[in-house]
A = this chain, B = another copy of it.
Amino acid sequence: MPNLEAALKYAGEHREKFRDDLIELVRIPSVSTDPGRAAEMKQAAEWCAAQLRGLGFRNAAVLPTARHPVVYAEHLAAGPGKPTILFYDHYDVQPPEPLDEWETPPFEPTVRGENLYARGASDSKGQLVAHLKAVEALVKSGGGNLPVNLKYMLEGEEEIGSPSLPDFMARERERLKSDFCLNGDSGILGADRPGLCYALRGLAYFEIRLSGPARDLHSGLFGGAVHNPAEVLANLLAGMKDAQGRVTLPGFYEDVRELSAEERADLARVPQDEAWWLAGTGAPALWGEAGYTPTERATARPTLEVNGLLSGFTGTGSKTVLPSRAMAKLSMRLVADQDPAKVKVGLERYLKEHAPPSVRWELLTHAAARPSIVERDSREARAAGQALEAAWGRKPIFFRQGGTIPAVAQIEETLGLKSLLMGFGLPDDNLHAPNEKVHLPTFQRGVEAHVRFMSLCGKA
């Protein structure tokens, strides 16, 4: 059985090797959206598979999907008495453009100060390699053993929305069976602020299309006689929220899990005060649902946003048109235990009740993802908290994230597994932007946290 101290000692002694291994991987331009990078995608996948094979993983394979392959491997030597963890991360990266804004080329990894600069250094190769190196520390210092059973599933399509993952998981459901999923593709609140994200919001994304007159009309000749679809659209959208910023759609809050006093106390520790939100958004003032802090509103409360509006003439100058059509994209971020299908029913009911007979309407669904939440007092959440506290020497903040990670929703839906988000990206890592970097001391602490987490899981 691996010994924690020995593993931590190995990790400490191999700090530079770990960094160099990460450099090897980020040097490969695995841009999933670029059809010209298929060979590099394959190369990055093979690099991961080779690493896993080298650590004694079985069945390590680069498995094809409709587009980019999934790397799968398993290390089940801990045996049936120990938990089985499915580690998820991705080896693809965002395109590096605009290239001229990079201080050093995106695929020529460069260390400056405490940071390593390269596309993918943080999102998510840095997080993937942090876990891989924790496994290495445990395996190498423990005679080839691991304290837990471990399955690896690394996808190559996260940056393009994980289109092939659901099919892959449905096909491989049997061998992916695990107790929970550990997702490395996430971050903490600051280099000295360990945190654990225990909830993500879900998404329900719609398009409302209104049509009135059969064609665009002359607003002088017809204005006043018929209902203007753009005006009706404004009325419908305006009616979806009240003056307190609460969504008025029927049943919208019915399944919302209210925040406990403990959760609110934790969220209050998240270092995001009003000034932080103002600086981060550039908005002239904050606004939102009455009775909640901005951080609560943006991470732990559901909301409804208009994502797009289009109607009539939108060019320079004027055209006196009474538009025949008007369109809005709108989406709701959902929190546990809201269901996007039920939200849609509420929206349809609202439209049936409020759209006047003077327009026709159509509702399209573009995306639906359930919210996800890990119980804060679950065994794995407690173990993660302890591991982070030990690695950082301070109590981690349990926080929520307002976005939706498609893979998390898909893994819960297809495999029935909750995801624990345990990655160590920092807010200033320039994700999806020029000069992406990983903070190397944080990367190393991440390795340590993973070592501790697996040890704790193996003990329980």
Residues on A facing B (Cβ under 8 Å): 201, 203, 205, 207, 212-215, 217-228, 230-231, 233-235, 237-239, 241, 277, 280-289, 294-295, 297-299, 301, 303, 305-314, 317-324, 326-329, 331, 333, 356-360, 366-367, 401-404
Contact = CB atoms under 8 A, between A and B. Distances in A.
A281 B226 contact: yes
B223 A298 contact: yes
Contacts of A297: 224-225
Nearest to A332: B223
Contact of A307 (B234, B301, B308, B322): B322
Contacts of A283: 212-214, 226-227, 358
Contacts of A404: 220, 320
Copies of this subunit: 2
Contact of A298 (B222, B294, B295): B222
A307 B238 contact: no
A234 B238 contact: yes
Given A311-B309, A329-B314, A277 B219 contact: no
19 contacts: A214-B283, A220-B403, A223-B333, A224-B289, A224-B303, A225-B286, A231-B238, A231-B305, A233-B234, A233-B309, A235-B238, A283-B358, A287-B358, A306-B311, A307-B312, A307-B322, A309-B310, A310-B310, A314-B327
A223 B402 contact: yes
A331 B226 contact: no
Nearest to A272: B225
Nearest to A217: B281
Which 8 residue pairs across A and B have the least CB separation, nearest first? A214-B282, A220-B403, A224-B297, A238-B238, A227-B287, A318-B366, A230-B306, A234-B237
Contact of A282 (B215, B220, B281, B326): B215
